[in-house]
Amino acid sequence: MRGFGLALGTAVVLAAGQASAAAIDLSKPYGNKSGCINKNGQEVYAEDMLLLTDEAFVTAASACTFTEKQVRADGSLVVKSMCAAEGEEGQSPIQFTIKRSPKNAKKLVIADEDGTVYGEVSRCR
């Protein structure tokens, strides 16, 4: 009977993890200050711009369009994308991981497949 309680506890923890996975909702844009200013188009130029939408991730120097999204068991979102970099021709495939910030659950952290963190973004108002 003791093992059943442990298994039930594990199931509850897993269910909670899956519930938080649904919490990353990109239906409204996320960005840093300059990214949110530019959420409806390029209004100002800023070197630090980060804008994350349901379909794309845009920085001052690149624009990535998502081609596939997958929710992981830990609640993070893995997105495959095709990216165009400023000054370069064509597009390159890049995979990003989007997860909740360990410092503030209302913010998201965006990192590439090498673990390079692009920054933290908050939901745009």
How confident is the model over 80-105, as pLDDT tens digits?
A: 999 999 888 999 999 999 999 999 98
At 95 the pLDDT is: 97
Domain with 6, as residue range(s), is: 2-123
The average confidence (pLDDT) of the chain is 82
Rounded mean pLDDT of 61-78?
93
At 47 the pLDDT is: 87
Rounded mean pLDDT of 118-124?
95
At 2 the pLDDT is: 42
At 23 the pLDDT is: 58
At 81 the pLDDT is: 97
The long-range contacts involving 30-38, CB below 8 angstroms and separated by at least 24 positions, are 30/108, 30/121, 30/122, 30/123, 30/124, 31/121, 31/122, 31/124, 32/119, 32/120, 32/121, 32/122, 35/121, 35/124, 36/122, 36/124, 36/125
Stated pTM of the model: 0.77
- The total domain count for the chain is 1
